Amino acid sequence: MSASDTDFLGRPVIAVTGLGIVSSLGKGVAANWDALIAGKSGIHTIDRFSTEGLRTTISGSVDFMGEMGRTSTGLSYAMAESAGSEAIRMAGLKDDDFGGPLFLAAPPVEMEWQHRLQLDHMDGATTEEAGYDRLLEIARKHPDRSIYNLTQCSRISELLADRLGTRGLPITLSTACASGASAIQLGVEAIRRGETERAITIGTDGSITQESLIRFSLLSALSTQNDAPEKASKPFSKDRDGFIMAEGAGALVLESYAAAKARGATIYGLILGCGERADDFHRTRSKPDGSPIIAAIKAGIEDAGLTPEGIDYINAHGTSTPENDRMEATGLAAVFGERLKETPISSNKSMIGHTLTAAGAIEAAFSILSLKEGVLPPTINHHHPDPAIELDVVPNTARRAEIGAVLSNSFGFGGQNACLVLGRAPRA
């Protein structure tokens, strides 16, 4: 091991050697990156199910994964499989024999409405009254393991572990909208502990159903600007009115820098640091003084051995809800001070929507591409800046900029705050 193999604390440097992405913009890293820097929106009117009577009728759903897309568990797996195998192949490894652990951010799953209704239509019950007693009677007459499988939260990681040839017991995690970043953090920690030389981290979310849409809608979290779907997600704009539910998956192959170099792998970027801090204020709202967000940002930058001056670009959480964008700007201002105005910050969610569990992973993958290509993706739909938020949001069109370090923020319900600091690959 040479000096460049370890960081300022003597820990192994973490290299990113493979990426994989699925979003409403398409399948694969190239298709997504091209659309993203072209400022294309993946948001569209929902046709997966009836939206009759709903306040929100738009989303960034992924509707091109075939048969597997018929259930949330199936779709979440299919996208994770696509992104995961792409990342492993990009790393020059065998996508059925990865040989390291899997850290998966996946949505909680449960029985879906199609199956409750399907069971209720079956015969074999003496109870006529609708409800779980009747469904239980029917289940005893007509057991169906395929429905049960879809209700198990370990299902997706089990299928992935077999498909990708990962090692050991995979960890499936949920830290709400910070999940994708948390998965990367777990991978980083495992390599830093010396448990493994590489890990695959995947965030996936295919959980747009009637019920999930209605539930977020009842919390008044979603945009209702249904008339022009591609214009509805407008982070940091004055007329933002909520987030757009979206689907997708992001995958990163993480390796110790020493191991990646030793096998001659191409290094696309580095994970320099991770920070987290939980909020004890409220189930859906941030502490008014922003202290947990501030602490998470500071912890990430500190873990990277940097100061705010070392951050060249911020990949925002930027959900387009009135509260998040204001709190995020406030939190960043507290850490960056006057320098914040000159630090470009953009929100991928203006184009792909909020991919929830997957967001932190997809946005980390985009951050690595920004570092590698020297291009900052835009915040589209930025025509009416919020005067209370003074930021350089890279409005509407992508920008060329050589950057060395990116801060990627993820904040979620339940007081989840996670921040990653990603760095450019050392020049050979």
Partner 1 sequence: MTNRPRDVLITGIGLVSSLGEGIGEHLDLFARGPGLQPNIKSDGYEPYFVHGLPAIDWSRQIPKRGDQRQMETWQKLGTYSAGLALEDAGIPMDEAVRSEIDMIVAAGGGERDPAVDAMVIARARGANDAGQVINETLSTELRPTLFLAQLSNLLAGNISIVHKVTGSSRTFMGEEAAGISALYSAKARIASGQSEICLVGSAFSAERKDLILNFDLAELMLKDEWRPVFARTGARQGVAIGSVGAFLVLESPEHAEKRAARAYARLTSALGDRGRRGGDATAKRFAALLPAQATDEDTMVWSGATGLADLVQIERQVLAERFPTAPVRAYGTLLGHAFEAQMPAGVALAAGALSRGMAIPPFDTGEERPAPAAPRRAVVTSIGHLHGEGVCVVEAIEGDCR
Q: Which residues does the annotation mark as catalytic?
A: 177, 317, 354
**Are the C-beta atoms of residues 154 and 106 closer than 8 Å to each other?**
no
97 near partner 1 (CB under 8 A)? no
Could you tell me which stretch among 26-34, 171-179, 249-257, 359-367 binds partner 1 (CB under 8 A)? 171-179
Closer CB to partner 1, 218 or 388, in the complex: 218
Residue 415 CB, shortest distance to partner 1, in Å, is 5
Q: Which stretch binds partner 1 (CB under 8 A): 69-77, 258-266, 393-401, 412-420?
A: 412-420
State yes or no: residue 11 binds partner 1 (CB under 8 A).
yes
Given 66, 70, 113, 339, the residue binding partner 1 (CB under 8 A): 113
When asked if residue 302 is in the footprint of partner 1 (CB under 8 A), the reply is no
Residue 157 lies near partner 1 (rule: CB under 8 A): yes
151 near partner 1, rule: CB under 8 A: yes
Residue 277 binds partner 1 (CB under 8 A) = yes
- Which residues have a Cβ under 8 Å from the Cβ of 366 and sit 6 or more positions away? 21, 32, 33, 36, 315, 348, 377
Which span sits near partner 1 by CB under 8 A: 91-99, 127-135, 334-342, 372-380? 127-135
CB of 299 to partner 1, least distance (A): 9
Per CB under 8 A, the list member of 280, 338, 342, 402 interacting with partner 1 is 280
Whether 113 and 49 have beta carbons less than 8 Å apart is answered as no
**Closest distance between partner 1 and the C-beta of residue 317, in Å?**
16
Max Cα-Cα span within the chain = 73
63 binds partner 1 (CB under 8 A): no
Is 276 among the residues that bind partner 1 (CB under 8 A)? yes
Q: Which is nearer to partner 1, 182 or 350 (CB)?
A: 182
CB of 153 to partner 1, least distance (A): 4
Residue 227 and residue 374 in contact, taking contact as beta carbons nearer than 8 Å: no
Identify which range of 45-53, 200-208, 245-253, 393-401 contacts partner 1 by CB under 8 A: 45-53
Residue (10 or 387) nearer to partner 1, CB: 10
Q: Is residue 52 a contact point for partner 1 (CB under 8 A)?
A: yes
235 binding partner 1? (CB under 8 A): no
Regarding 8 and contact with partner 1 (CB under 8 A), the answer is: no
182 in contact with partner 1 (CB under 8 A): yes
Does the protein bind partner 1 through residue 404 (CB under 8 A)? Answer: no
116 contacts partner 1 (rule: CB under 8 A): yes
Among 4, 8, 47, 50, binds partner 1 (CB under 8 A): 50
Smaller CB distance to partner 1: residue 117 or 428?
Answer: 117
Out of 2, 126, 145, 427, which residue is the one contacting partner 1 (CB under 8 A)?
Answer: 145
HEC secondary structure over the chain: CCHHHECCCCCECEEEEEEEEEECCEECHHHHHHHHHCCCCCCEECCCCCCCCCCCCEEECCCCCHHHHHCHHHHHHHHHHHHHHHHHHHCCCCCCCCCCCEEEECCCCCCCHHHHHHHHCCCCCCCCCCCHHHHHHHHHHCCCHHHHHHCCCCHHHHHHHHHHCCCCCCEEECECECHHHHHHHHHHHHHHCCCCCEEEEEEEECCCCHHHHHHHHHCCCECCCCCCHHHCCCCCECCCCCECEECEEEEEEEEEHHHHHHCCCCCCEEEEEEEECCCCCCCCCCCCCCHHHHHHHHHHHHHCCCCHHHCCEEECCCCCCHHHHHHHHHHHHHHHHHHHHHCCEECCHHHHCECHHHHHHHHHHHHHHHHHHCEECCECCCCCECCCCCCCCCECCCEECCCCEEEEEEEECCCEEEEEEEECCCCC
**How near is the Cβ of 301 to partner 1 at its closest, in Å?**
16
Number of residues this chain uses to bind partner 1 (CB under 8 A): 82
